[in-house]
Amino acid sequence: MIASILLNSCGNVGAPLPPLIQIPVPISDLAIHQFGKSAQLSWTLPKLNTDGSAATTLATVEIYRFSSPRSQAVPVDPKEFVRIAKLWKSLSKQILDTYSAGEKVVVGDTFEDPDSGNIFQSSLHYAVKAINNKKQAAGLSNIVSITILPLPEPPKKLEVLSLGEQSIELTWSMPTVNSDRSPLQVPPKFNVYRSSDSAAPGTLQNQSPVGDNRFKDSSIELDKTYSYRIRSVLETPSGSIESEDSQNLDVTNPDTYPPKRPAEVTAIAGGEGISLVWLPNTEPDLAGYWVYRSGPDKKFQRLQDQLLTTPSMIDKSVEKGQTYFYRVRSVDQKGNESEFSEEVSDTVE
């Protein structure tokens, strides 16, 4: 009886489930643009497999490419692409793992490859394929094409034109030829990039391309080093294309700039002595003020041992019947001193 109960209580074993098909979905946002003498490819790594599961088995991404005469129409037929294109580069899992989810993968293809021929007479066509650890793929991505244009060379002789208390002004030599050595027909425009480290990517500083060979950066901090690089810009009907970077120029604008001299200094004799008052300086790095006094001989001597932190003081070390002359200087936190204020005086009655 016990054996019968145990047998009747056992569950039925169903049919085996099919294995999950963990093949990454095809990449669908492949994009391309020209940067200098290279084509910059970018895309987002798949997050899902074709069965809806997370794409955790992505092992490599293969990049396929072929070139055609510049006159060939685009877009390219997918069947033609599969027939003609060759594997150009593979990105290993080790490389892919350096990208975060949703981050764009960027790969550059320089135009010095032997099978590119005369690149300025060609169009290039690309597609990529996401492959799992079993070497399975769901197909190619969208196909992108680019027709290579000769660009103005990057500017040279980048140097500092002037330094100001709130600015660094740069200048550079104008390019005269394109990347294919042909002469420029139209003067180029420029984009200015700045970073805090020459190895770090720069941030664009100008809102629109600069039409001259100079640029004033008015968003600087004194005593901070900035690394600048300039790119030539070619305007096309489909958008702007940039050259490679110029050589880096590291610039430090040291804080040797004094604050403004105190204004509207007033001296008034009273019962306690001579009171001095002036308009406060507004510099954010202001440290204080020095007050200088003189008799009729105009041999000014500093009155205090420590900086005043307020724009006023009372000079009590005065004698009746004497006339005293005063001048004030403002001082910043770097020790830079302003010019003297206008001279004021009063007589102790």
Phi/psi for 306 (5° steps) reads -125, 150
Which residue is listed with tokens 């002036």? 278
Q: Taking 60 as the threshold, does the pLDDT of residue 7 lie above it?
A: no
The alpha carbon dihedral of 88, 94, 95, 97 has a sign of: positive
CA separation (Å) from 18 to 14, 72, 334?
A: 12, 46, 74
C-alpha span between 192 and 206 (Å, rounded):
6
DSSP secondary structure string, 295-325? -TT---EE--SS-BSSSEEEE----TT-EEE
pLDDT the model gives residue 114: 42
- Segment among 88-97, 176-185, 203-212 with least mean pLDDT: 176-185
The first and second tokens of residue 103, run together, are: 């981050």
pLDDT the model gives residue 210: 96
Q: Are 315 and 302 in contact (CB under 8 A)?
A: no
For the chain, give the percent of residues with pLDDT over 90: 70
C-alpha span between 208 and 195 (Å, rounded):
18
Q: What is the mean pLDDT of the chain?
A: 89
Q: Is the peptide bond before 19 cis (omega within 30 degrees of 0)?
A: no
> Angle 123-124-125 (CA atoms, 0-180°, nearest 5)?
125
Q: Where are the alpha helices (DSSP H) in the chain?
A: 2-9, 78-84, 93-96
Instruction: Give the pTM.
Output: 0.75
pLDDT band at 5 (very low <50, low <70, confident <90, very high): very low
C-alpha span between 208 and 189 (Å, rounded):
9
Q: Which residue has the higher pLDDT, 14 or 35?
A: 35
Domains and CATH numbers, the chain: 31-147 (2.60.40.10), 156-252 (2.60.40.10), 263-347 (2.60.40.10)
Which residue is listed with tokens 């001296």? 267
Most confident of 37-41, 118-122, 342-346: 342-346
pLDDT tens per residue across span 97-106: 998 867 899 9
Residue 118 makes CB contacts below 8 A (sequence gap 6+) with none
